[in-house]
Amino acid sequence: MRLAAAAYPIDWHDSWASFEDKISAWVHGAEADLLVFPEYGAMELASLAGKDICANVEASLHAVAGQMERADGLLMRLAAETGKHILGGSGPVFAGNRPVNRATFFTPDGRAVSHDKQIMTRWERDPMDCHGGAPLTLMETALGKIGVLICYDSEFPLLGRALIEKGADILLVPSATEGMAGYARVRIGAMARALEGQCVAVHAPTQGDATWNQVVDVNTGAAAIYGPPDKGFPDTGIIAQGRFDTPGWVTAEVDLRAIREVRRDGHVLNKTHWDEQVGRDGPVRIERLI
């Protein structure tokens, strides 16, 4: 299959038609079977509510949440039209009194599965007051077994491991990071999850400046597709990587047989040997040298 990770710019839209034209062009322009848009890619919908709403974090969250169902309908239609599987850009959804950060996955046959971020960053906790959502979901699809780790979630190995233990072959990692340090953390996390799980990780970041909204005001990074640095994959673990801070698709061919083979007979067997680690309650010897 061919995978595609978006380095996606956050743009201002004066009308719904402008947003629809942009998303349609991106989906039709990707030569791939599976497309991954970034975390908070939907925040550009706040622009439809005007500059005053965009300038207020809370108001912009409500404005985007009010557009998410319409955006989902657009992506569902595009998935059916193009025959592609699509992870849409995430956005706030008010599942209760406070929002969750939700990305929805669409299949060509009209199915949709939502994925909620599990662990909030400090900014999402305050001032956004965004909460962790529904548990992780492993999807069994025509392209393989797929899980989603939204941005910060990729930095926590036990979340990735939970998906791997359920059989994940591919981890989708949409992100939105302001600076180099944030981008590096997600990049390193995604690569580590690919190493530990002997799987493929698809990293799709936001791009550019959108100073009119604090949630996505500055966006840094490069799209990439990672695998384990082992038999059947590049020695660096980088299957494909785009230019830094450059919008566009990054694509790569991935064969599930290569994942199965590296798990069966890699130079190392990280997935198999995971349980040999010392657990939290396991024996740790303390040697006092003071």
- pLDDT, average across residues 20-26: 98
* pLDDT tens digit sequence for 149-177: 999 999 999 999 999 999 999 999 999 99
Which residue range forms the structural domain that includes residue 220? 2-273
Q: What is the pLDDT of residue 279?
A: 67
Following DSSP, what letter does each residue of 111-149 receive, concatenated?
-EEEEE--S--HHHHTTS--B--SPP--EEETTEEEEE-
* pLDDT tens digit sequence for 108-162: 999 999 999 999 999 999 999 999 999 999 999 999 999 999 999 999 999 999 9
From the list 72, 22, 24, 41, the residue with the least C-alpha distance to 172 is 41
Mean of pLDDT over the chain: 97
| Domain contains 286 | no
Q: What is the pLDDT of residue 95?
A: 85
Write b or e for each residue in 74-89: b if 16 or more Cβ atoms lie within 10 A of its Cβ, otherwise e: bbbebbeebebbbbbb
Task: Indicate if the pLDDT at residue 256 is higher than 90.
Answer: yes
Q: What is the reported pTM?
A: 0.97
Sorting pLDDT into bands at 50, 70 and 90, what band is 285?
A: confident
| Domain contains 288 | no
Q: What is the pLDDT of residue 199?
A: 98
Q: What is the pLDDT of residue 284?
A: 79
| Domain contains 278 | no
Q: How far is Cα 183 from Cα 207, in angstroms, rounded to an integer?
A: 11
| Domain contains 92 | yes
- pLDDT, average across residues 56-82: 98
| Domain contains 150 | yes
| Domain contains 163 | yes
Q: How many domains does the chain have?
A: 1
| Domain contains 219 | yes
| Domain contains 105 | yes
Task: Indicate if the pLDDT at residue 280 is higher than 80.
Answer: no
Instruction: Say which CATH number the domain at 174 has.
Output: 3.60.110.10
